[in-house]
């Protein structure tokens, strides 16, 4: 058993996020386990870049209201208590609405070479605004 009393909050890297996003790692993928888990906090308007996960991802919203968008233009509005599964290989993004913060626990099973995330280009303001309009 290992008791971890706290982890430092870090600012998420600007090359993967738009706006102010903060991360507390819960678990890093270390062999033999492959689970990566983190508490991610998005300020209003903040969001991830487009990305995908080799083995999928589960998001559990702990606070606020957010959006998850996919390349086909689908958008899901998520709120505290909601869970959302992103299938393996699906390019998507997630973040807060323009007026409300959002926090979620992100769960990813690594592919043996890290957490299996492929980071892509930023979500444009036009893409984000379109997601707000249809959510």
Q: In the chain, what are the domains?
A: 10-134 (2.60.120.10)
4: confidence class by pLDDT, cuts 50, 70, 90: confident
The predicted pLDDT at position 91 comes to 98
Eight-state DSSP code of residue 81 = T
Position 123 scores a pLDDT of 98
Mean pLDDT calculated for residue range 109-131: 91
DSSP 127: H
Q: What is the mean pLDDT of the chain?
A: 94
Mean pLDDT across the stretch 55-71? Answer: 97
Prior bond to 13 cis, omega within 30? no
* Whether pLDDT at 32 is above 80: no
- Long-range pairs for 60-63 at CB < 8 Å and ≥24 separation? 60/104, 60/105, 60/107, 61/102, 61/103, 61/104, 62/103, 62/104, 62/105, 63/101, 63/102, 63/103
- Six-digit token pair at 2? 């290992």
Mean pLDDT across the stretch 56-72?
Answer: 98
Record the tokens describing residue 74, joined without a space. 């689908």
């Amino acid at each position: 058993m290992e008791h971890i009393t706290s982890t430092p909050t870090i600012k998420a890297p600007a090359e993967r996020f738009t706006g102010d996003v903060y991360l507390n790692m819960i678990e890093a993928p270390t062999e033999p386990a492959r689970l990566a888990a983190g508490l991610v906090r998005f300020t209003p308007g903040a969001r991830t870049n487009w990305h995908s996960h080799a083995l999928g991802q589960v998001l559990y919203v702990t606070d606020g209201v957010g959006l998850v968008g996919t390349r086909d233009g689908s958008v899901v509005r998520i709120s505290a208590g909601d869970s959302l599964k992103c299938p393996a290989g699906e390019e998507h993004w997630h973040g807060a609405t323009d007026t409300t913060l959002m926090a979620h626990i992100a769960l990813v099973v690594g592919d043996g070479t890290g957490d299996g995330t492929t980071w892509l280009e930023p979500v444009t303001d036009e893409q984000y605004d379109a997601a707000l309009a249809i959510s």
